[in-house]
Amino acid sequence: MTMGTPRRSIWQWLPGRLMVVLLIGLFLASVTDTVTAVRVSPDISIQVVQSIVEPGGIVRYKIQVDNTPSDEALKRLEVTVPYQSNQMTLIGRKLRSDKDWIKEVSGSKVTVQFEGIGAKSARSATLEFQTRPDLPDSTVIEGRGKYSWYSDNASDSGDTNRFRVTIQNPNILPQATIVPPGGPAGTVFTMSANRLAPRDYVVTWLNLPDGSVLPLSLAGYADLAGNIQLSYNSTGLAPGNYTMVLYASESGREYTVSFIIQ
C-alpha cells in the first residue's frame, strides 16, 4: 500500500511573522466589537445673577445644565440648592421647560428636577429669593449645591460650584482711606476700601506729581464681605503729592486716595 503525502493546513504554509499578524488582527477585531462609548458627564453649575444685594432685595440663582458635549440624553437630573430661611424666602422660579418641576421646598433647600434633557443640548432654571430687610450689612450668603443625574447607560452625583452673595446697605456709601496721610519716602501707606464684590480682584496704579502714571504690581482680593486692605512701601518716591488708584475688576468700582511725600 502506497502512503500518500500528508495534507497540511494553510496555517502550516504561512510564514511565522504573517501568522502572528493575522492572529493579532483577529484579536483586535473581537475587542473592537465589545467597545462602547464613554458617557461624557454634563456640566452643572449655579450662577449668581447679582453678587451684591441690599437688605430686602432679590437673590437670583441660575441653575445651568450643559449637556452639549454628550451624544446621550439625560433622562432625569436633580439639583438641590441650599439656603437659610432666616436669611431669605423663596418667592419665585422660572423653569425653561414644562417637563421640569420643583420637587421639594423646605426651610433649608430647594430641589429642581429636570426631565429629558436631550443630547447636545442645554437647559436652565432660575430660583428667586427675597432677603430679609433686617439682614446686617456685610452679611455673606453662600453655599454649594448637590446634583444627581441618570441616563440610559450611566448615572452620577456630586457637588456644584460654590456660590455667594453679599448683603450691602445702600445707605452706607463706598469709601477708601489711607493711613498715614503723609510721610517721608520709605513710609508704608495702608489703603482700605469697602463695598466691593466678594473676592473682587483689585489692581492699583499711582498718579505722580508731574501727571504721569506709574503702574504698580500691588494687587489683591477683597474678602467675602467686600473689604480690602493693601500696603504700599513708598521707598524711592520724590517729595510731592501722589494719588493711589484702586480699581476692582468685578464690581467696576474705582477708588482714589491721596498722600504726601515730604
pLDDT in tens, 104-157: 999 999 999 999 999 999 999 999 999 999 999 889 999 999 999 999 888 999
Look up cell 513708598; give the residue: 234
Select from 2.60.40.1930, 3.30.750.80, 3.40.50.300, 3.90.25.10 the CATH code of 176-261.
Answer: 2.60.40.1930
Percent of the chain with pLDDT over 70: 85
What is d(CA 222, CA 211) in angstroms, rounded to the nearest whole number? 29
What is d(CA 98, CA 226) in angstroms, rounded to the nearest whole number? 39
| Structure-block grid coordinates of residue 127 | 430660583
Q: Is 207 helix (H, G, I), strand (E, B) or coil?
A: strand
User: Under 8 Å CB-to-CB from 77, ≥6 apart: which residues?
Assistant: 42, 44, 65, 113, 114, 117, 147, 148, 149, 150
According to CATH, where is 2.60.40.1930 located in the chain?
Answer: 176-261
Helices (H), the chain: 10-13, 16-32
pLDDT-derived band at 70, boundaries 50, 70, 90: confident
Look at domain 43-167 and name its CATH class.
Answer: mainly beta
pTM of the model: 0.68
Q: β-strands 182-183, 254-261: how paired?
A: parallel
Q: Are 181 and 261 in contact (CB under 8 A)?
A: no
Tell me what the pLDDT averaged over the chain comes to: 88
According to CATH, where is 2.60.40.740 located in the chain?
Answer: 43-167
